[in-house]
């Protein structure tokens, strides 16, 4: 049905008429005066939300979820009061506006906005070493991992050069020198001191930055401070030597390990008590190399220098300690194997190593378990312990006193870690120097003290619990290093160091030829060999080239 069918013209006229009457009525009423209006108030909430962004982020380097104030929400409420017209006499319309502002801070989870430190570019460092196996290789691996944990942007690669032969072998220094000259040397190098002013970084500013002082270290300038007075190395470790005794054999023979002060004669007697030809047990291992209670210690106890740089004279036979006698001290040492029968001579060493009683499979004499006592260096204790492999316990004790000077003798060495000057150009000098000092820090120093690939040169480690974890007896002489500093000889004075003679290698080869090869190993007269060393050594030092 259409709309037109309902609205007729008549009906439209009626409606229009009604409206006209109504309008006329209203006009008449209005003209009669004001009437009380009926007001109906109705609140109509009108909200306007204003969101203001609050900037709090700066540089985002990593993100995490965290509740942080990020928004300030302002709610504006507009209340409108409206007068609704009613069909009364008088209608007044009034609009009242009221604004209500509600402000609240809300939180929500957002991606961080953590103000992080400035992002550091990745750094890769190379650290060269000749430590290629066992506890020593493990130590450098540990160092690399730990440094990376502390400095996530730094990766350390260990560059192993010449796995055997030692850092003083031709292979290590030769290869490293080539790398340095070619400009591709590693950032850090262990045990290399060569043209330090040209290739090694000045470490003084870095020491200051790290808050370290030389007094904290068992320090010697020979490998660490150049002739110009600039510090270009950090000590690598304490190479001082002591003695170790096989506790199984000590118990078996019922002997008492000597305390601090005992003489060479007592050592010899003790060794004789522990000698048992039937089981191929020897009382004492007399080292044939220069240190670890070798001839370097014998010279030191008597106050004999290796050579005198000023007069270019070989002086191994000249003792300077009161009562000292380096020739006799050396001869006594020689006699232990060649006359006293306390120590095995060369052939007997071989026989001991090949003995069925040696079940160690090691070529280290003390580790065979057939040696009562031996000297050792704190740079090799960990290696010996590894070779022993828990087959017997050992005890560490003091070296003996010279019958001539009354002193114990020490071979001292700090060696060094140096930082390649090229690190400055490569932009990683700070990290490289940091790694050098990390060696003696709170992570590495306890590790080194306990496992002893070498004992760190920080002095406080000698009084720490860590060093006593190595073996029994290590807590008996916390001042061993201090005594060694007083009585010992620093290798750096004679071999390769800044104070050594330019012809040190020639002298050193001679000393090994005469004292080690011919006397200690070959059994030739120690007196004659000392004489020959004096004569030929002086000649070698005075050679022009």
C-beta closer to other proteins: residue 17 or 166: 166
Q: Mark residue 160 as left, alpha or beta (left: phi above 0; alpha: psi -120 to 50; beta: remaining).
A: beta
C-beta closer to other proteins: residue 180 or 201: 180
C-beta closer to other proteins: residue 204 or 539: 539
**Shortest Å, Cβ 466 to other proteins:** 36
Give the helix ranges, DSSP H, for 314-472.
326-338, 346-354, 381-388, 422-426, 429-438, 444-451, 465-468
Instruction: Kindly state the helix (H) or strand (E) to which residue 114 belongs, with its residue range.
Output: none
> Is the dihedral angle over the CA atoms 370, 376, 379, 381 positive or is it negative?
positive
Question: In whole angstroms, how large is the CA radius of gyration of the chain?
Answer: 44
- Please name every residue paired with 458 in a beta bridge, in sequence order, or none if there are none: 217
Burial of 175 (0-12, 13-18, 19+ CB in 10 A): middle
Taking alpha carbons only, the member of 320, 315, 286 closest to residue 302 is 320
**Shortest Å, Cβ 345 to other proteins:** 10
**Shortest Å, Cβ 536 to other proteins:** 8
**Shortest Å, Cβ 318 to other proteins:** 23
**Shortest Å, Cβ 198 to other proteins:** 5
Which residue, chain included where needed, has tokens 């070798």? 294
**Shortest Å, Cβ 138 to other proteins:** 25
C-beta closer to other proteins: residue 427 or 502: 502
C-beta closer to other proteins: residue 67 or 354: 354
Binding site for other proteins (CB under 8 A): 170, 173-174, 177, 180-181, 194-195, 198-199, 346-347, 350-351, 354, 505-506, 509, 512-514, 517-518, 521-522, 536, 539, 543-545
C-beta closer to other proteins: residue 26 or 505: 505
C-beta closer to other proteins: residue 44 or 170: 170
Instruction: Answer for the pair 157, 125: CB distance below 8 angstroms, yes or no.
Output: yes
In whole angstroms, give the CA distance from residue 397 to residue 483: 14
**Shortest Å, Cβ 202 to other proteins:** 17
C-beta closer to other proteins: residue 288 or 379: 288
Instruction: Answer for the pair 114, 62: CB distance below 8 angstroms, yes or no.
Output: yes
- Please name every residue paired with 128 in a beta bridge, in sequence order, or none if there are none: 159, 189
Q: Mark residue 473 as left, alpha or beta (left: phi above 0; alpha: psi -120 to 50; beta: remaining).
A: left
In whole angstroms, give the CA distance from residue 496 to residue 489: 14
Long-range contacts, 92-97 (Cβ 8 Å, 24+):
92/37, 92/39, 94/39
Taking alpha carbons only, the member of 346, 319, 302 closest to residue 487 is 302
**Shortest Å, Cβ 346 to other proteins:** 6
DSSP string, 427-485: T-HHHHHHHHHHTTSTTHHHHHHHH-SSB-SBGGGGGSHHHHTTSBTGGG-TTHHHHHH
C-beta closer to other proteins: residue 226 or 431: 226
**Shortest Å, Cβ 522 to other proteins:** 6
**Shortest Å, Cβ 357 to other proteins:** 15
In whole angstroms, give the CA distance from residue 373 to residue 283: 6
In whole angstroms, give the CA distance from residue 190 to residue 167: 8
**Shortest Å, Cβ 516 to other proteins:** 8
Q: How many residues does the chain have?
A: 545
Question: CB-side exposure of 46: number of CA atoms within 13 Å?
Answer: 9
C-beta closer to other proteins: residue 278 or 544: 544
**Shortest Å, Cβ 320 to other proteins:** 28
C-beta closer to other proteins: residue 69 or 174: 174
C-beta closer to other proteins: residue 185 or 369: 185
In whole angstroms, give the CA distance from residue 72 to residue 84: 37
């Amino acid at each position: 049905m259409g709309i037109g069918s309902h609205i007729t013209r008549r009906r439209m006229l009626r409606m229009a008429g009604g409206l006209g009457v109504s309008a006329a009525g209203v006009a008449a009423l209005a003209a009669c005066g004001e009437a009380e209006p009926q007001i109906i108030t109705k609140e109509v909430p009108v909200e306007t939300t204003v969101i203001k962004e609050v900037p709090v982020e700066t540089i985002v380097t990593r993100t995490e979820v965290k509740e942080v104030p990020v928004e300030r929400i302002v709610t504006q409420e507009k209340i409108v009061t409206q007068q609704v017209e009613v069909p009364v006499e008088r209608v007044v319309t009034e609009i009242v506006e009221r604004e209500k502002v509600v402000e609240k801070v809300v939180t929500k989870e957002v991606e961080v906005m953590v103000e992080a430190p400035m992002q550091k570019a990745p750094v890769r460092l190379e650290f060269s070493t000749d430590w290629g196996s066992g506890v020593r290789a493990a130590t450098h691996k540990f160092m690399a991992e730990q440094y990376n944990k502390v400095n996530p942007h730094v990766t350390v690669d260990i560059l192993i050069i010449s796995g055997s032969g030692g850092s003083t072998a031709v292979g290590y220094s030769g290869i490293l020198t080539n790398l340095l000259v070619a400009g591709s040397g590693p950032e850090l190098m262990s045990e290399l001191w060569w043209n330090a002013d040209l290739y090694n970084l000045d470490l003084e500013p870095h020491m200051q930055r790290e808050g370290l002082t030389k007094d904290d270290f068992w320090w010697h300038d020979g490998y660490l401070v150049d002739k110009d007075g600039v510090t270009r190395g950090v000590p690598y470790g304490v190479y001082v030597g002591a003695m170790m005794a096989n506790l199984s054999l000590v118990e078996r023979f019922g002997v008492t390990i000597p305390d601090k002060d005992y003489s060479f004669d007592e050592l010899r007697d003790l060794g004789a008590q522990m000698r048992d030809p039937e089981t191929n047990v020897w009382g004492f291992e007399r080292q044939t190399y220069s240190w670890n209670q070798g001839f370097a210690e014998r010279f030191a106890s008597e106050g004999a220098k290796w050579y005198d740089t000023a007069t270019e004279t070989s002086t191994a036979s000249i003792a300077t300690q009161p009562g000292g006698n380096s020739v006799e001290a050396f001869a006594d040492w020689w006699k232990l194997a060649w006359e006293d029968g306390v120590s095995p001579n060369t052939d007997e060493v071989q026989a001991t190593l090949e003995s069925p009683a040696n079940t160690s499979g090691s070529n280290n004499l003390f580790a065979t378990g057939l040696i009562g006592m031996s000297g050792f260096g704190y740079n090799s204790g960990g290696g010996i312990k590894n070779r022993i492999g828990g087959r017997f316990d050992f005890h560490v004790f003091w070296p003996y006193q010279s019958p001539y000077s009354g002193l114990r003798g020490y071979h001292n060495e700090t060696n060094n870690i140096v930082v390649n000057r090229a690190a400055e150009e490569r932009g990683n000098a700070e990290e490289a120097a940091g790694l050098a000092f990390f060696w003696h820090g709170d992570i590495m120093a306890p590790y080194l003290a306990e496992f002893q690939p070498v004992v760190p040169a920080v002095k406080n480690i000698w009084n720490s619990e860590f060093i006593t974890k190595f073996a029994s007896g290590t807590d008996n002489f916390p001042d061993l290093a201090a005594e060694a500093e007083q009585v010992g000889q620093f290798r750096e004075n004679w071999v390769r160091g800044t104070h050594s003679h330019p012809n040190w290698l020639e002298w050193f080869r001679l000393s090994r030829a005469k004292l080690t090869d011919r006397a200690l190993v070959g059994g030739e007269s120690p007196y004659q060999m000392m004489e020959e060393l004096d004569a030929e050594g002086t000649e070698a030092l005075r050679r022009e080239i």
